[in-house]
Amino acid sequence: MNPDPRRAVPRTDALLAEPPIAAAVDRLGRDLVRATLHDVQQRVRTGDLDPDDAVAAAVAGLPGSAGSLRPVLNATGVLVHTNLGRAPLSAAAVQAMTAASGTTDVELDLGTGRRGPRGEGAIGALLAAVPAAETAIVVNNCAAALALVATALGGELVIARGELVEIGDGFRIPELLTSTGARLREVGTTNRASVADYRAALGPDTGAVLKVHPSNFVVRGFTRSVEVAELAPVLAGTGVPLVADVGSGLLRPHPLLPDEPDLQTTLADGADLVVCSGDKLLGGPQAGLLLGRVELVQRLRRHPLYRALRVDKTTLAALEATLRGPTPPVPQMLAADVAGLRARAERLADRLVASGVAAAAVSSTARIGGGGAPEFPLPSAAVALPAAYAAALRAGSHPVVGHVADGSTLLDLRSVLPQDDDALAAAVLETADRLAAPSRHAAVPRR
Ligand SMILES: *Cc1c(COP(=O)(O)O)cnc(C)c1O
């Protein structure tokens, strides 16, 4: 090593002229590359790094992309994890998004050269999947769908007290509804509402009757709620629309989730409009879907607020491919059988044990999450590691989020796709190395 490393600090322009670094400038832009070069120069200056290794260190320290969001392996066992971006998209959806990400015919009829209807492909896919719907529109998320409904139908919204739900992170549906200027006409009590309660609440100011699926809790005991099928005949002929927020976006009944409402059944039962999220059990991009009667959906589409809530071309592309393409990850994870999960856990544990990691395959319980089927445990299998792995795995080059239970870090495989098992094993082995020699591999802060 040079006796005084400070003299040998490579110059920024010399480093930028190195081919792998010049290529990184094309990929990442000059500012991000310069920031990495400055870190490397600092390490040479302090004698931490040999100047001959500066180029290699810079290449290794470059961020993977110009964005700061990083891919994370979700081994929490929570299939729809809001903090981890909810549903992972299918490869088909990613491909469709990429194809639509440049200039695209989202609102142009290539045959006539004139303006065409926006998002026709995604709407067509929704209607094919939910035949009870006459038409549909897509907005930013389910909260946006509710805001549009409350704004456009407004006046007084009739809603059961037991359905004044907080979804998570302080998001309360009643507050969203009243923020639009709509008034709530609450019916029933926390645990009970009857058809008579709804009937008595209807009046000249009623804009809509709203049913909200309490997706993240259950009320047990002396309870009574009025289902869409009972409510629809009460409203027939009144002109008051029945709107149902089914939350998680099941298209049809799911054999594993008998208590989770679905779009097709809710419409067939008599709802005039159903709304749901695109990125929960449907397994697609963040979106709010509104499906139902033509005249009602048209009224929403023509409201000025719709323009502020409508989705981007890439969302439309991903949604269409989610609906038309192969089964997306979330429904796949939901359907995975526990014996297959157990076999994967054992294979992974064997591999890790062979490399000296204290790993074991164990039984676990996964959940749907994201405010869906709150009490529904999904039998699963996990790789158990010592507790110290939890934080170390999050700090790795490919972060893994597991969960700590009974003094172990559990990596639940129901929320990991089988094709990611190799990446999971690699992340654990890298972490094991770091835990074994913490100083040698001191984490370099990444941007
Ligand atoms: C999750 C959920 C929402 C909110 O959906 P976003 O897409 O996050 O806006 C609204 N209503 C119900 C019943 C939900 O489960």
Residue bearing the CA closest to ligand 1, atom 13: 247
pLDDT tier at 38 (50, 70, 90 boundaries)? Answer: very high
CA distance 338 to 343: 9
Among 185-194, 266-275, 344-353, 418-427, the least confident range = 185-194
Ligand 1 atom closest to 171 (CA): 4
The pLDDT of residue 447 is 42
In sequence order, the β-bridge partners of residue 247 are 276
Instruction: Kindly tell me if the per-residue pLDDT of 221 is higher than 90.
Output: no
Closest atom of ligand 1 to 215 CA is: 15
Mean pLDDT lowest among 149-163, 238-252, 371-385: 371-385
Pairwise CA distance, residues 214 & 197, whole Å: 19
Dump pLDDT digits (tens) for 298-338: 999 999 999 999 999 999 999 999 999 999 999 999 999 99
Instruction: Share the mean pLDDT of the chain.
Output: 93
**Which atom of ligand 1 is found nearest the CA of 216?**
15
Q: What is the CATH number of domain 89-326?
A: 3.40.640.10
Reply yes or no on whether the pLDDT at 261 is more than 70: yes
Query: For the range 126-129, what are the long-range contacts, defined as Cβ-Cβ under 8 Å and sequence gap of 24 or more?
Result: 126/289, 126/291, 126/319, 126/323, 127/291, 128/323, 128/324, 129/251, 129/323
Domain 89-326 in the same topology as domain 73-80+331-440: no
Give the C-alpha separation, 193 to 222, whole Å: 11
| DSSP H stretches of helix in 304-420 | 304-309, 313-324, 329-335, 338-354, 389-394
For residue 69, what are its two tokens?
A: 């969001």
For 80-107, what is each residue's pLDDT tens digit? 999 999 999 999 999 999 999 999 999 9
More confident residue, 1 or 94: 94
Instruction: pLDDT band for 375, please (50, 70, 90 cuts).
Output: low
> Above 90 in pLDDT, residue 186?
yes
**Pair of tokens at residue 218:** 């259950």
Predicted local distance difference test score (pLDDT) of residue 443 = 46
- 106 alpha carbon to ligand 1 midpoint, in Å? 26
> Given this model, what pLDDT does residue 372 score?
63
Higher pLDDT, 382 or 221: 382
- Residue 371 CA: nearest ligand 1 atom is 15
What are the structural domain ranges in the chain?
Answer: 9-61, 73-80+331-440, 89-326
User: Does residue 384 have a pLDDT over 90?
Assistant: yes
Closest CA to ligand 1's atom 12:
247
| pLDDT-derived band at 168, boundaries 50, 70, 90 | confident
**pLDDT for 136 beyond 90:** yes
How many Å apart are CA 118 and CA 133, to the nearest integer? Answer: 18
Ligand 1 environment, Cβ below 6 A: 141-143, 167, 212-213, 215, 245, 247-248, 277, 288, 371
Mean pLDDT of 426-431: 98
Q: What is the DSSP letter of 184?
A: E
Question: Rounded CA gap, 437 and 447, in Å?
Answer: 23
Confidence category of residue 441, pLDDT binned at 50, 70, 90: very low
Q: Give the total residue count for the chain.
A: 447
pLDDT tens for residues 49-87? 999 999 999 999 999 899 999 999 999 999 999 999 999
> 3-30, pLDDT tens digit by residue?
565 668 999 999 999 999 999 999 999 9
Residue 439 has pLDDT above 80, yes or no: no
- When pLDDT is averaged across residues 425-435 and rounded to a whole number, the result is 97
Q: What is the pLDDT of residues 143-160, one digit of tens each?
A: 999 999 999 998 999 999
Supply the residue whose CA is at minimum distance from atom 5 of ligand 1: 142
Pick the CATH number of 73-80+331-440 from 3.40.640.10, 3.30.70.260, 3.30.2270.10, 3.90.1150.180: 3.90.1150.180
Q: Ligand 1: which of 215, 216, 282, 376 to mutate, judged by most atoms within 8 Å of the beta carbon?
A: 215
